[in-house]
Chain A
Amino acid sequence: MTKIRYRSKSRPTTLIGKIFHSIFGLIFAGFGAVFILLATSTFSNKEDISKWPQANAVIKQGKVGYPKGLEEDYRYDLKYEFVYNKKKHIGTKIHSNGSGGDLDDIRFYQSKYPAGAKVKCYVNVKNPAKSVLVASRESKWVMLPFMLIPGIFVLVGIGQVISVWRGGKETISPNASSTSQTTKLEQRLGLALFFSIFATVGTLIFYFLCVKTMVKLNDSESWVKVPCEIINSRVKSHSDSDGTTFSVDILYRYKYKGTNRTCDDYSFNSTSSSGYDGKAAIAHSYPRGKKSQCFVNPVNPEEAVLVREGGTGMLLGAIFGGIFGLVGYGGIIGALFFMGKKKRGTYYSRRTGFHDPIDEYNSQWEIAGEQNIELKPKTSRFAQLAGSIFVCLFWNAITWTIAIVIIASGKLGPLLFISIFIIIGLGFVIAVFKQLLLLSNAKVKIIASSNVVRLGDPLAFYWAIPAKAERISKLSISFVGVEEATYRRGTDTITDKNQFYNELLFETTDYSEMLDGQAIFDIPETFMHSFSSSNNKIIWQLKVHGKIKAWPDIQDDYVIEVLPMERK
């Protein structure tokens, strides 16, 4: 007999297990904490310019500076004069980083700091030439949303450590139908919370890059076409630790209802991405001084585009938003509605309304199976194909995106590492093709006397192959028993299977025998019945194997519920 050890799925009982889980939790929390500390220290290290002394200043000069280099920003080149400590000083900086920004910033500076305007400036007492007009460009709270994910890491990590060492008597509460139920609910909610991050990110990406752009495209049908002149045209590069990306940056001026305006939107939502040549071709087609035409929003004439297209952002939004959304919402639905769902034959207690708990408990085995029923395969071929397509798309979308970014960056070193994942991705592609080929295979119809059989009773079934039987070189039908054990290793959930019984019921290479036939199998009383709990299963099934030359074989499993013997 096996010795009972009390343990729950999430709480290890041995000291080594507890220490291992605690270290894992601390590392998890540590990553989040380090990120939060780095981010907060970056902000706290910034000098608080608002505490600098203020002085009255007069704007002497202000004009827009157009970028020429790949990584330059627009500038508002200005000079302002102020008096500090009875001395005249000249300042040129708007904020601590200078006077650059995107076109909207420059427009704002232009309207706020025209030549002759009287303003206040913050004086840098150590070097008055480095005084500024604006104390801070961004609020310290701007980083708060980015703290959410590392914050979750910290909470999950600390939660893991607390749950490992949480005390309590390791006995089974009689009020709980199963000790695994509570943990299961926690796991489901935890998993749903984890997937909600993917769902939120996916929804936001899809909404802002795809839906909003589509609405804009639709609205732009009523926009007015007006002549415009190209002021500046270039490809702008954006470099960070992940590599370099490029965007089309064309500045043009147009006149609408008597007012001259400038704009730098080429299309709707033209975000930066890898790939220089396509963007360079667009920039070259709009050289400086070229007379062209743009579309102006009559409701907000500041808004204009050169072409009414969605831009690369819309495509990227659809791909990445879609993938993240599918994983996120699929995960939430799976965790909340399908994970640990009770199936027939699963153990649970409903004591309310029953006089004798054992009678109620036994009622789950009083299952009346359907008579002369056509059995359905455990997993249909279409479901297998859909599953393999999903895995293939998910894996290859991520892998190839990373690979393309690496190739575009020109640094091919990391490509060697990613090539392993590309090869695995090719394996998934092959699996999809195999599933596609399987769709064309012959279908074996199995009609059983019942899909529920008690130990000691006979299982009678009839099979028929309505079409394509001639392609099968050998057909065999077996009655097999399989153990399935599900456990967690780190963050992975693994299911191990072991076939403990295999009785060959029928085998033939004769075409006429394959077409149809019947068999009866007496299920011995000494067998184990079907069993299904949250993490452990004993499954009985009819296994049909049709061998086909130079083609994927037919391999379908049909589950048979084997019940314990009736009470005598």
Chain B
Amino acid sequence: MPISIQVKNNQTSFKPGDKVEGSIIWDLPKEPKEITVNLFWATDGKGSQDIEVVDFRKFQAYCKTGNDSFSFTLPIAPYSFSGNLISISWTLEAFAKSGRDNCQYELIMAPQGEEICQ
């Protein structure tokens, strides 16, 4: 995997306001110069998709290989949700400034640590 995201303790379930800590590791054919990590939610289902980047980190990357750590504080909403027409999911995404390499790490964010199902 040219770029990968590792979250502390491989945790996927979080509560609103929790910290998401982890690191990105890259091994690319040429130096990426900059790697961005996005924290965003997205809707899925029958409706057209809405996406919002809630926070992001940018890392200087002047080596073909390397790693760096990140930390995000999750907001209080929206909760991870799964309904009949709409679902809301949280994702961490890392991508290099040059090239098409990227990777994603899916999270669940809800008060009970489980996706809210209706």
CB within 8 Å of B: which residues of A?
1-5, 7-9, 169, 171-174, 176-180, 347-349, 356-358, 361-362, 365, 455, 481, 483-488, 496-498, 500-501, 525-529, 531, 533-538, 563-568
Contact = CB atoms under 8 A, between A and B. Distances in A.
B7 to A, nearest CB: 15
A527 B116 contact: yes
Interface in B17-49: 17, 36, 38, 40-49
B1 interface: no
Nearest to B72: A358
Contacts of A531: 77-78, 81, 86, 88
Contact of B36 (A174, A488, A500): A174
A28 to B, nearest CB: 20
Given A362-B76, A529-B78, A487 B83 contact: no
A175 to B, nearest CB: 9
A2 B55 CA distance: 21
24 contacts: A1-B80, A1-B115, A2-B89, A4-B42, A9-B49, A177-B52, A179-B51, A180-B49, A356-B73, A358-B54, A358-B72, A358-B73, A361-B54, A362-B77, A483-B86, A484-B47, A485-B45, A486-B47, A496-B47, A498-B83, A531-B81, A535-B50, A564-B79, A564-B111
Contacts of A486: 47-48
A536 to B, nearest CB: 4
Given A487-B48, A528-B118, A538-B81, A565 B112 contact: no
A358 B93 CA distance: 17
B65 interface: no
A5 B80 CA distance: 16
Contacts of A487: 46-48
The A interface, classified by DSSP as helix, strand, loop or mixed, is: loop
B76 A564 contact: yes
Contacts of B80: 1
Interface in B61-118: 72-89, 91, 93, 95, 100, 102, 104, 106, 108, 111-112, 115-116, 118
Identify the 8 closest CB pairs spanning chains A and B, nearest first: A485-B47, A174-B56, A533-B50, A564-B77, A9-B48, A500-B118, A2-B87, A485-B85
A412 B31 CA distance: 74
Nearest to B57: A174
Interface of B: 16-17, 36, 38, 40-56, 58, 72-89, 91, 93, 95, 100, 102, 104, 106, 108, 111-112, 115-116, 118
A536 B86 contact: yes
Contacts of B41: 347
A362 B88 contact: no
Given A4-B104, A525-B111, A178 B44 contact: no
A535 B81 contact: no
B53 A538 contact: no
A173 B40 CA distance: 11
Contacts, number: 163
A339 to B, nearest CB: 13
A332 B7 CA distance: 48
A538 B45 CA distance: 13
A379 to B, nearest CB: 21
Nearest to A179: B51
Contacts of A526: 111-112, 116
A496 B85 contact: yes
Contacts of B38: 171-172, 174
Contacts of B95: 169, 171
Contacts of A3: 44
A507 to B, nearest CB: 23
Nearest to A171: B95
Contact of B75 (A5, A348, A361, A500): A361
B118 A358 contact: no
B52 A536 contact: no
Contacts of A169: 95, 100, 102
Contact of A357 (B55, B78, B81): B55
B53 A172 contact: yes
B118 A172 contact: no
Contacts of A9: 48-49
A407 B79 CA distance: 60
Given A2-B45, A169-B102, A365-B77, 20 more contacts: A1-B82, A2-B87, A4-B91, A5-B44, A169-B95, A172-B93, A174-B58, A177-B53, A180-B51, A484-B47, A487-B47, A496-B85, A497-B85, A500-B84, A525-B111, A528-B116, A535-B47, A536-B47, A565-B16, A566-B76
B50 A180 contact: yes
Nearest to A168: B100
B28 to A, nearest CB: 14
